[in-house]
Structures are given as C-alpha cells and as structure tokens.
Structure 1
Amino acid sequence: MTIRVGIIGCGGIANFKHMPSLAKIEEVHMVAFCDVNVERAEKAKGEYGKPEASVYSDYKTMLTEAKLDVVHVCTPNISHAEISIAAMEAGCHVMCEKPMAKTTDEARTMVEAAKRTGKKLTIGYQNRFRKDSSYLHSICEENALGDIYYAKAKAIRRRAVPTWGVFLDEEAQGGGPLIDIGTHALDLTLWMMDNYKPKYVVGNVYRKLADTENAANAWGPWDPSKYTVEDSAFGFITMENGATIVLEASWALNTLDVGEAKTTLCGTKGGADMENGLRINGEDHSVLYEKNIELQVGGVDFYDSTGDDPADIEAKQWIDSVLNNTEPVVKPEQALVVTQILEAIYESAKINKPVYFS
C-alpha cells in the first residue's frame, strides 16, 4: 500500500525534518508540494517528489485536486489550525508541525475537527523519539520514579535567536522562545508525568535583550526593529493533583546553564534529569545512588551507532499509524494542553495575575 502525501509549506522545517524523513519510508509517495513561494515548492518537488508530483501556491487547490491520504502542515503558527482543519475535512490525515496552534481556541477546533471527520491528527514533537526520552518514558510508565510531584521543563539558549522566516513576528507566530522551543520541553515533561490537568499558571515574559544592536548570535545579529516577540519566558504551573512544573524558555539569556528540550523529574521513589546525559537518582537500602544511563552503542573504534534520528522515527511511527489504523504517539488532546499552558503563561504575564483553568 502506498500513502500519497502532500507538503504544505516548503521552508526550513519541511526541508530539514519532514521531507528527508518521509523520503526514507518506502510506502510514502510525496505527490504534492504547496508554498506561497512557488520556487520553494518546485525545489521540493525536484528533490523529494515523484515524477508525477504537482506544485501549488494555494493549499485549497491542492486539497481539491491532489487526492491525498496525508498532509504535513509546515507553515507559520498562525495558519496551523486553518490548514489542518481544511485538510481533515478534505479527507486527509494530518501531521502538523509544533506548536499545535497559535491559540487554545484554534487548537481546540483542530481536536474537534479530527473527531468530526474521523481523521488522524498528530503534532511534530519529535523530541519524544530521542533515545533518552524513550528510555525515561518507559521507566516512568513502570512507576520507577513513583508519584512525580515536581518537574522542570528547560529550553534555554545563551544566544541562538532564529533570524530567518517569521520567528520574530508575534502576529505570525504568537510568541517567541516560549511557543517555539519551550513547547518541546513542556511536551516532554507532561508526557513523562502523564499529567494533563493544569490548575493554574503564573507567568513572566521578558523582552530585555531584543533591542541589542549587532548582538552576538549563532545565526548572526538580529534586527531589533523586527524583533516583536519575547526573548525569555518563565512559567510556574500547578497541576490539579498538586504537582508543580517550572518552565524556562529563552533564545537569549545571560547564563551558562543552557539546554534545550530537557526535563527534570522528582518523584516519591526517585528522580531523573537530562542535564549531563540521562541520570537516574534515588535511595536504596538507606544509601543514595546515581545511575548514568549509557545510550550509545560503541566498543569498536571505527563504528559507533547512535541509532535512528528522532525525526525519522517520528515519521515512521506516524505513517505506520495511518497504515495500520492505530493511534499516533503524539495525541492531539495532549498537544492541546501544551498550547493551553503556553497561552496561560503569556496571559498571566500580561495581566500580572495567575490564570486559572476551569
């Protein structure tokens, strides 16, 4: 069986993640490419498309003409909901790049559309498929850490502000590092805890370094006049069961304590963190212990297999879920809660009060 896939948005994330991973799956035929910049769509077709593949500048036309099974939505956040819903209503299963949507209301309409149409919907949280994440999740499922009542979700860069596309545009994206990379750290943490019931959120958002001229930055200086989002955001999340999550997200922060898409978990039986590889800690027979989990396969000088790329594993399990009619690993209801919490952090910072969930 072959799966006819269409790509909507042929920019960076499609080229660096979605299309290369899909191209490795035998059952996948990428047969339609859509982008407002037709040259980008043509380039994507040339590199990844079947000979009969079509190119479009309008996604609505593509959904009408291309007879697709699956659509990957790789556009700015502002259009995630609109395009995903249209694709599901056109009979397609949808993989939407993270975050799920710009707002909670939009994310909720996506979940409702998936239920209404009976189509599968998943969100691109590929960090779940890293080796350390998969291992940690497996021991959490076994209750090895006990009741996890404190956690930290970390997405901190010292100076790595994305200067391309619309990353700095609040209108198009809905925010900066919180919604861009903080979303990965929060998704990992909620998934490990298997806790999707927030009670209230307190948030602080800062735009302190964005006006720096000629700033040191991984991708060259940013343009302060175009930098309309925060450079740092922090949230204190209390769950219904009393558990606490601290979320840290920044593209530019004067700190050496950096790390991206990492989680720290503290439970009644033990703890875990990703600060220096994956570490598990606890107490056994009145003695404290720390285990460093070795996830690399080595032992031969000329060969060291690190396993599959998380993006490849994500794409494979997603297509398998379509082929076998099973649930994808990332469920839309889970991604909705991530969006709810992110939006609440922004709102709390704006009104200078806690935001409660009804």
Structure 2
Amino acid sequence: MSKVRVGIIGCGGIANGKHMPSLAKVQDAEMVAFCDIVIERAEEAKLKYGNPEAKVYSDYHQLLSDGSIDVVHVCTPNDSHAEISIAALEADKHVLCEKPMAKTAEAARRMLEAAKRTGKKLSIGYNNRFRSDSRYLKEVCAAGDLGEIYYAKAHAIRRRAVPTWGVFLDEEKQGGGPLIDIGTHALDLVLWMMDNYKPKAVLGRAYHKLSQTENAANAWGPWDPKEFTVEDSAFAMITMENGASIVLESSWALNSLEVDEAKVTLCGTKAGADMKKGLRINGENNSRLYVNEIELNSGGVAFYDGASEDPAELEMRTWIDAVLSDKDVLVKPEQALVVSEILEAIYESSRTGKAVYFE
C-alpha cells in the first residue's frame, strides 16, 4: 500500500486532542472515514481532517464494512473498546485502541485472542512511552545500567484536576477513575522500563474521600458530586514473581503538593533513576554518590530515522510504520493486558480488603 487508509471511531476529546491532529502530520497515512454516535462530531472531523471523499458514519459497523480501510483507531469510552476492536480485527483491520486496553481484563484478553486469531496488528495508546525522557530511560534500563530493578514507583498524582466532561466520572462507562485513567500510564511505564510482566500479588485501596465536595476547586471547574461515581484516588503495592516491588499512586483530587503524572522512580542494584525534576540518574562511583541530570534538548538519536520529537506524532508515525513495514508494534497487546489485569486486581483488592494473588 502507498498510504495507510485510516478510519476513526469516536470523534471526541482524545481523537481531537491526539489521534487526528497527529495522524494529519503523517505523510504515509490518510483519514478516510469518521464515525461517532453524534453524527455532527464525525462531520466536523471530516471537514477538518478528511478529504472531500471521506465517509461519515454514526454506526461503526458501516465503517468496518468498507474493505478499503486498512486501520481503525478506537477512541471511544472504555466499555466499548473490546467490542469495537474485536469487530475491527475480524473485519480485517489493524487496530490502535486508546488506553486502557479495555474496561475489564476479561475483555482485554478477548481482544488479544482476536488479534492472534486474525493475524492483524493490535496496539494500545500508551503515548507516554514516546516522550524523550521515557525513550532515553528505556535505553538506560535495556543496557543494564541500573542493574536489577527491584523497587519502583509509578506516579500519577494530580492535586485538583478532575476531568468533568464526557463520561470520565461514570463508573459504568469507564470502569474506574484516576487509577484506570492516568494510573494506567504510570504503571505501563514502570513495567516497560523493568521489562517485567509477571505480577504475583496486589494489595490496593481506592478512595472516595474528596469526590463529594461541593463547589470544589478544580482545574476544569467544580464537579457534580452526584455524577462522581468513580474513585478520586487509588494506591497499591504490587509484588512481582521475581521479588520486585512496585508502588502505584494515582489521584485526580488529593491534598498533596507533590504532583507528578505519568512519571516513574526506579531503584536498581547498580543505579537509580527518577523523573521528578527532569530525568535524573543516581548512583555511587569510586565511593562517592552522584546525580546526573540528563539534558534532553540537545539532540540525539531519533526513535527511527526522520522521526518527530513530538510524542503524539511519534506514536502515530511509529504505529503507521509498523503497519506499512509489517514490523512489531511498540506497545504490544500482551503488555497492555498485564496492565489491565493489575488494575482490575487493585479494584478487587479495594472491594474485598484482601490481597489478590495471580496464578
């Protein structure tokens, strides 16, 4: 194929904020179909990002029946990720599904099974892997410079930044709050850096402490307590089969001045690293402690030749290149499934008050 023909399913916030503007900068891709249950949103997307021949739909099944479409981007609420992704894979389309992989681990497993069964590519939108600090730290970890990483923290803390639009506060649609929304990014980064996808046990707690605050201070205006059905914060300890420990912290609303989102702290036998104040590597050399602050604005090797440094655009370029060149995707569905399994275990642990063990 000369260009990858892309259909967008769900033309709301994440499609407009990331997928469509970034795809528009990828020369090897063209958006040829737009679908949304609110047809006006699909029509607006076509006017902005499509060509005159682009199709508009309110029913995603109609979009999937178009045999000329190569790739589908699923940008809908969490509860429909699996249904649409599986249908797209079975319609002979490659699929990039927005994070998290699915509302439940069982649904995520069905997505993975469909990808294996159809032989089509499936990837999940964990775009924070494409940041320059994430890419650099991944190279450091892969080279073994930190040694064995046996303790890590996944940070996803907002002080007061509750998303009040769309269905973010709806547990039925989303499956949860900050844990499944932004905690998922931080957990994905930690597991990727450690290259460790074998959890043993989880002990966690989700809280509903600030969600019922009336006229709350908030980045996007006060929320409606009656609509706030998900947790406002969640925390967990995760132990891995090899003995490593991970602390996961997430919040949309928390009385904390220590605010970090989609960042990690890694502690290894040779050195440590964190993203707290830029990217820092710490360790001991010749009986002296050191801290190296990594300068990420002075160039360096691109992710692949000609790649942009914009994380969202780089995510799309890498994905489209994997389709065109039949390469492995960077965010593998097997990895995203483990993230979903751990998140689900944290919610279960919170409900039961007991640790959850993986077989």
Q: Sort the TM-score into its range (normalised by shorter chain).
A: over 0.9
Distance 1:260 1:278 in 2: 14
The equivalent of 1:181 in structure 2 is 182
Equivalent in the alignment of 2:192: 191
Structure 2: distance between partners of 1:157 and 1:20? 26
What is the aligned-residue identity percentage?
71
**What residue in structure 2 maps to residue 304 of structure 1?**
none
Indicate the residue corresponding to 1:13 in structure 2: 14
Q: What amino acid maps onto 2:357 in structure 1?
A: Y
Q: How much does 1:109 deviate?
A: 0.4
1:5–1:69 Cα contact (<8 Å) kept? yes
Q: Which amino acid aligns with 2:85?
A: S
How far is 1:50 from its partner? 1.6
Alignment of 1:318 onto 2:319: yes
The one-letter code of the counterpart of 1:25 is: V
Aligned residue type for 1:312: E
Aligned equivalents of 2:298 and 2:9: distance in 1?
Answer: 37
Aligned equivalents of 1:182 and 1:267: distance in 2?
A: 22
TM-score, normalisation: structure 1? 0.97
Q: How far off its partner does 1:76 sit?
A: 0.1
Runs of 4+, deviation exceeding 3 Å: none
Instruction: Look up the match of 1:156.
Output: 157
Match of 2:292, SS state, is strand
CA distance in 1 between partners of 2:31 and 2:52 (Å): 10
Q: Tell whether 2:354 aligns with 1:353.
A: yes
1:239 corresponds to: 240
Letter of the 1:165 counterpart: G
Partners of 1:246 and 1:162 in 2: how far apart? 24
Deviates more, 1:22-31 or 1:273-282: 22-31
In the alignment, is residue 40 of structure 1 matched against residue 41 of structure 2?
Answer: yes
- Deviation at residue 296 of structure 1 after TM alignment: 1.4
Measured on the aligned residues, the alpha-carbon RMSD in Å equals 0.8
Structure 1 distance, partners of 2:96, 2:236, is 28
User: Equivalent residue for 2:99?
Assistant: 98
Q: Does 1:75 align with 2:90?
A: no
SS at the partner of 1:65? coil
Deviation at 1:29, TM superposition (A): 1.4
Aligned residues: 350
SS at match of 1:261: strand
Partner of 2:231, secondary structure, is coil
Residue type at the aligned position of 1:131 = S
**Kept in 2: contact 1:32–1:66 (CA 8 A):** no
Residues 305-333 of structure 1 show CA distances to partners (whole Å, capped at 9, x for unaligned) of: xx621000000000000000000100000
Q: Matches of 2:57 and 2:110 in 1, distance apart?
A: 26
SS at match of 1:101: coil
Matches within 5 A, 1:190-339: 190-297=191-298, 308-339=309-340
List per-residue Cα deviations over 1:263-317 (Å, max 9, x = no partner): 000000000000000000011111111100011139xxxxxxxx62100000000
Partner of 2:145: 144
Number of the residue aligned with 1:166: 167
Letter in 2 for 1:13: I
Report the counterpart of residue 3 of structure 1 in structure 2.
Answer: 4
Q: Equivalents in 2 of 1:2, 1:67: separation in Å?
A: 11
Shift of 1:51: 1.4
The 2-side partners of 1:349 and 1:269 are apart by 35
Deviation at 1:66, TM superposition (A): 5.6
Distance 2:96 2:129 in 1: 15
Letter in 1 for 2:351: K
Indicate the residue corresponding to 1:302 in structure 2: none
What amino acid is the match of 1:64?
S
Residue 226 of structure 2: SS of its match in structure 1? helix
Distance, in Å, in 2 between the alignment partners of 1:65 and 1:8 is 13
Unaligned runs of 5+ in 2: 300-307
Matches of 2:183 and 2:295 in 1, distance apart?
26
Work out the CA distance in 2 between the residues paired with 1:212 and 1:154.
24
Q: Distance in 1 between matches of 2:22 and 2:218?
A: 29
**1:173-214 CA distances to partner (integer Å, 9 max, x unpaired)?**
000000000000000000000000000000011000001011
Q: Which amino acid aligns with 2:118?
A: T
1:65 CA drift (Å)? 3.0
Cα distance in 2 for partners of 1:99, 1:88 equals 17
Give, in angstroms, the shift of residue 344 of structure 1.
0.2
SS at match of 1:225: coil
Distance 1:152 1:27 in 2: 38
